Structure 1
Amino acid sequence: MMFSKLFVALALSLGACAQTVYVAGDSTAAKGGGGSGTDGWAQYLGQYLTIPVVNSAIAGRSARSYTDEGRFTTLINTVKSGDFVIIEFGHNDGLSGTVDNGREDAFGDVYATTATVTEADGTTKVIHTFTFYMQNAIVALKAKGATVIVSSIWVGNSIGAGPRFVLYAQEVAATNAVTYVDHYDYVAQAYNKIGETTVNTYYPIDHTHTLPVGAQVVAQAFVRGLLCGTSTLKAKVNAAGTAVPSESISQPFFPVSQKY
């Protein structure tokens, strides 16, 4: 009986100490990607780590809609001290036109900036910047004892300077003293080595959503970013992860300093 109680206590203690990686993002990271056989990169991250990955990315979301739908709140309530949270948005956060699509953020990178948008029914709504939604989530997650990693996102059909949300992600990470992984640049580096002909085969429906083979490349690019950075998560990278292709980049492979 005494042995049984000790075993249960030990098991509960180990369970309490177990770490988990959570990923918050959009279809580029989500299970099933954008449909038509595509898949998100976060589905393949777990094979490169020694701790489990919970992919909480949801297709069609932005930093704003992930907030408004309560998904960040759910994540904040779920994580425990010692867990890791990777946040990667930007694909759906751009301006949507005269009618609000429920995802767009106010333009700019200033926390306090707001904008008024018109809903489909003619009513108006005040929205905030990408920085506002991201920073609120980061602060709450850090308060729970989670280690937050902000990651930039790969989108586009050419290799060049990244969209403004790449820089916004970098800025919000620096402002809140959390690790930044320049995922955009590491994917660009990987794609540049693989070549346009092969890379185009990764995208069956557009230049955003990858087939599983492409998602693997994007996952490996993130792992390489981890290995070349300072996050404590890199201590959880396994042998398969340390063997991923590509090398460290000491500066952005493509310039992302210009806002547009």
Structure 2
Amino acid sequence: MGRLKFVLQTCLVLSLIGTSVASAQTYTCSQHKKSMDEIQLAPQDTYSGASAGFDLAPSPSLVKNACTAERDFFFSASMPEGSYTVSVTLGGPAAAITTVRAEARRLMLRKVSTAAGGERIESFTVNVRRPAITPGGQEVKRKPRELHSLNWDGKLTLEFAGDHPSVRKISIAPANKSLPTVYLAGDSTVVDQDNEPWAAWGQMLPSFFGPGVSIANNAESGETIRSFVGERRFDKIFSTIHAGDFLLMQFGHNDQKPGSGNVSTQDYAALLRKYIAMAREKGATPVLVTSMNRRTYDAVGHITDTLAPYPQVVRDVASSENVGLIDLNTLSKTLYEAVGEAKSRSMFVYADANTYPNQAEALHDDTHFNSYGAYELARCVVLGMQQAQLPLVKLLREPNIRFDPAHPDEPGAVALPVTPFFDLEKPYER
């Protein structure tokens, strides 16, 4: 196949703060050397911490100035903490349908079609973070499952998946400092789930926005609003949040559980109010999200309420504090009842034995979603943003489209390529 070549073009980008500068990098799959700045990598070369390269899976082939493969391939580049605007030129010698994810399976571009020999340029913004909290020198208290997560490793990773996934060029530049960041604080129903078959709405949300928004999903499995404090996850958010940013908070699933981790409704409301006030002090916009329902139906097909009174506490705090509310609890009830009990398993992690590698027993989970369910929940969140008239809706890729949870997408219309990483263990819960 010859040598795989990437063109590295470096330019200076003036920061909006002071006179500091940062570099933009463009990597181009090319058969021929075009400049002295060109970096040559063989297809078998892998990412090493000092340079960009293919990572985590077999490298793609170089065919007619395109990196292309029959299955997923990954590209990583070492990057400091921050947000980066990424532009990809998709396309290759064969017709392709390419889905692009970033970091721990954050959906950036869903099923982009390119004709044989054609190309299409798309852009998005990716948030890169590290455990360190500055100033102060402390770190986020990560769970064991987070220690090797792509969300915390100090590099920007892109996954190209689908039918003949193909890319011609990847450009990465520090995002404009004026771009708003949307910080997500929540639990396993919000987090970037690293592995199949699990998924959550927070990792689907970036695909609905263009490059003018950075989604910083700081949610983690098993969290209550109080443990989010104790593990310094709020400290991490407030070390970087700025005026013009947004803070979306969704807790409740674990807070309500009996035992030492239980958060009383009084403490729950008090902590919500505390972080609403802190966000406002920073000039950021707080938004509350009620927890989506579990998959629990009564005899006539209606969803039963297993989360009371926590969603109502959120509604009451939103009203008294005059903050935006995304009532995902109500929207998910409409969604689940429209899908119906029999078909609703298609949204959750239900799988017969041997569906996935080394899966000896069937999976059945009425709380956690697969990619289809997570995508539909993300559509509900976007609808909630529109209903609340958040300024963010102007930055949606399709701001005039409104999802109707009473008429959800069919699973086949949403179906995403499966990432080659699996975990049969249920996400951590309290």
TM-score over 0.5 for the alignment? Answer: yes
Per-residue CA shift, 1:4-57, capped at 9, x if unaligned? Answer: 99x625697982211111111000011228x66211111001111231211111
- Tell me, yes or no, if the aligned pair for 2:332 and 2:405 is still in contact at 8 Å: no
- Tell me, yes or no, if the aligned pair for 2:247 and 2:284 is still in contact at 8 Å: yes
CA distance in 2 between partners of 1:154 and 1:9 (Å): 40
Per-residue CA shift, 1:201-249, capped at 9, x if unaligned? Answer: 22223211001111011111111111122322222222178253337xx
TM-score, scaled to structure 2: 0.47
CA distance in 1 between partners of 2:202 and 2:229 (Å): 20
Q: Does 1:27 align with 2:170?
A: no
Q: Does 1:168 align with 2:345?
A: no
Name the residue aligned to 1:42: 202
- Tell me, yes or no, if the aligned pair for 1:47 and 1:240 is still in contact at 8 Å: no
Distance 1:240 1:229, change over 3 A: closer
Provide structure 1 residue ranges, at least 5 long, that are not aligned to the other structure. 110-128, 248-260
Greater fraction of residues in strand: 2
| Aligned residue type for 1:227 | Q
| Aligned residue type for 2:338 | K
CA distance in 2 between partners of 1:12 and 1:246 (Å): 46
Name the residue aligned to 1:254: none
CA distance in 2 between partners of 1:169 and 1:26 (Å): 15
Q: Secondary structure at the match of 2:369?
A: coil
CA distance in 2 between partners of 1:26 and 1:94 (Å): 13
CA distance in 2 between partners of 1:241 and 1:133 (Å): 35
| Aligned residue type for 2:263 | D
CA distance in 2 between partners of 1:9 and 1:29 (Å): 32
CA distance in 2 between partners of 1:155 and 1:38 (Å): 17
Q: Does 1:105 align with 2:263?
A: yes
Larger Rg: 2
- Count residues with an aligned counterpart: 218
Q: Does 1:132 align with 2:290?
A: no
CA distance in 2 between partners of 1:241 and 1:67 (Å): 37
Name the residue aligned to 1:16: 177
- Tell me, yes or no, if the aligned pair for 2:179 and 2:214 is still in contact at 8 Å: no
CA distance in 1 between partners of 2:185 and 2:253 (Å): 13
1:148 to 286, 291, 307: 286
Q: Secondary structure at the match of 1:86?
A: strand
- Tell me, yes or no, if the aligned pair for 1:31 and 1:40 is still in contact at 8 Å: yes
178-187 vs 44-53, which moves further: 44-53
Deviation at 1:169, TM superposition (A): 0.9
Q: Secondary structure at the match of 2:325?
A: strand
User: Identical aligned pairs, as a percentage?
Assistant: 24
- Tell me, yes or no, if the aligned pair for 1:49 and 1:241 is still in contact at 8 Å: no
161-170 vs 82-91, which moves further: 161-170
CA distance in 1 between partners of 2:224 and 2:249 (Å): 11
Distance 1:61 1:241, change over 3 A: farther
Per-residue CA shift, 1:140-177, capped at 9, x if unaligned? Answer: 11110111110001132231445211101111222222
- Tell me, yes or no, if the aligned pair for 2:289 and 2:314 is still in contact at 8 Å: yes
| Aligned residue type for 2:401 | T
Provide structure 2 residue ranges, at least 5 long, that are not aligned to the other structure. 1-10, 20-174, 298-302, 351-363, 407-430
TM-score, scaled to structure 1: 0.76
Name the residue aligned to 1:198: 343
CA distance in 2 between partners of 1:91 and 1:183 (Å): 13
1:71 to 209, 215, 233: 233
Name the residue aligned to 1:86: 248
Q: Does 1:222 align with 2:376?
A: no
Greater fraction of residues in helix: 1
The CA RMSD measured in Å over matched residues stands at 2.5
**Whose relative contact order is higher, 1 or 2, with alpha carbons under 8 Å and at least 6 apart?**
1
Distance 1:26 1:9, change over 3 A: closer
